[in-house]
């Protein structure tokens, strides 16, 4: 009687496990698709957003972390866009008490102490190969020019009073030519002079499958996109970010259901093994 009852339960769990496994094997989960993408791109594609033109420089699969909507490790699909910014802002700094080059001339930078300085003094320095050199007296907090005569004697004169050297003044807002660029003296502080100029710079935007990012069409306006890779060499950009998220949620829900069915398979298999073992235990007479 014991074995008959066990056989019934064993058959039940076997059928349950087999049916669950068959469901897993045949179930097809929802796939993510973008029917009307804003942009369909491949390597070398170009597209324009407002005032800006972007070029696809790479669409490829790389090893590393998972994509934007699940999974870790393995292959990651990524794309890189580039654009040329003709008005990128560059900056440089002249520190107080340092030597800088403006044009073909070397200068020493002096910034007068004060609560809010607005200008700095550039003083010419001894030329390379000359008999004169600059030295700083830390106790007196003064710069001196040291000249060495042919007989080995040295002459020391205060640098700022030495008539061999001349001064230039740069002020906030002044336009100068620096490293071949039209440059603005943007700010003067007690410790430094900030220079700014515009030029050409290549800017990159890299994104992975399922990643959200913003592409600007101007300095003040941009559009949020989500990336989807239907293949390793093609990427779709869609501004319907919420619709993409809905599809991802459907996929996640399907995977949760499949994981639950796997639990049924595992538990049913364990129950079958246990019942089989218990049914054939020797009986006490």
Give the pLDDT confidence score for residue 67 in this predicted structure: 46
Give the pLDDT confidence score for residue 146 in this predicted structure: 92
- Alpha-carbon dihedral sign for residues 178, 181, 182, 187: negative
Give the pLDDT confidence score for residue 71 in this predicted structure: 47
Task: Output phi, psi for 182, to 5 deg.
Answer: -70, 115
**Distance separating alpha carbons of residues 207 and 239, to the nearest angstrom:** 15
Q: Please report, for the chain, the start and end positions of each structural domain, with discontinuous segments joined by +.
A: 1-29+241-285, 91-200
Give the pLDDT confidence score for residue 83 in this predicted structure: 96
In the 8-state DSSP scheme, what is residue 70? B
**Distance separating alpha carbons of residues 178 and 138, to the nearest angstrom:** 31
Distances from the Cα of 245 to the Cαs of 54, 76, 242, in angstroms? 26, 19, 5
The two three-digit tokens of residue 29, written as one number: 């989960």
Strand partners, 207: 79
First to last CA, the chain: 15
Give the pLDDT confidence score for residue 200 in this predicted structure: 93
What's the pTM? 0.63
Give the pLDDT confidence score for residue 128 in this predicted structure: 78
CA 9 to chain centre: 59
For residue range 23-65, what is the model confidence (pLDDT) as tens digits?
A: 888 877 777 888 899 999 999 999 999 989 999 999 998 775 4
pLDDT surpassing 60 at residue 72: no
Give the pLDDT confidence score for residue 138 in this predicted structure: 84
**Distance separating alpha carbons of residues 68 and 76, to the nearest angstrom:** 9
Q: What is the SS3 assignment for 242?
A: helix
For residue range 73-122, what is the model confidence (pLDDT) as tens digits?
A: 568 999 999 999 998 999 999 999 999 999 889 999 999 888 889 999 99
């Amino acid at each position: 009687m014991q074995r008959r009852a066990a056989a019934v339960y064993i058959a039940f769990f076997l059928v349950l496990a087999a049916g669950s496994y068959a469901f897993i094997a045949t179930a097809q989960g929802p796939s993510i698709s973008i029917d009307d993408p804003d942009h369909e791109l491949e390597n070398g594609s170009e597209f324009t957003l407002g005032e800006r033109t972007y070029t696809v420089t790479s669409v490829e699969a790389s090893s590393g972390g998972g994509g934007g909507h699940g999974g870790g490790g393995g292959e990651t699909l990524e794309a890189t866009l580039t654009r040329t910014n003709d008005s990128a802002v560059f900056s440089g700094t002249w520190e107080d008490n340092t030597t800088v080059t403006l044009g073909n001339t070397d200068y020493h930078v002096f910034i007068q102490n004060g609560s809010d300085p607005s200008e700095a003094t550039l003083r010419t320095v001894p030329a390379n190969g000359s008999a004169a050199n600059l030295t700083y007296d830390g106790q007196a907090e003064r710069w001196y020019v040291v000249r060495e005569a042919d007989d080995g004697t040295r002459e020391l004169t205060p640098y700022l009073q030495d008539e061999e050297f001349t001064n230039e003044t740069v002020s906030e807002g002044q336009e100068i030519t620096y490293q071949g660029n039209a440059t603005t003296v943007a700010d003067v502080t007690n410790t430094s002079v900030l220079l700014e100029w515009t030029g050409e710079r290549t800017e990159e935007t890299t994104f992975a499958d399922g990643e959200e990012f913003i592409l600007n069409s101007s300095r003040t306006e941009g559009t949020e996109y989500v990336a989807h890779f239907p293949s390793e060499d093609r990427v779709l950009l869609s501004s319907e970010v919420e619709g993409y998220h809905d599809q991802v949620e459907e996929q996640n829900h399907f995977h949760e259901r499949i994981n639950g069915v796997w639990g049924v398979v595992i538990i049913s298999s364990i129950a079958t093994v246990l019942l089989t073992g218990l049914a054939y235990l020797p009986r006490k007479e």
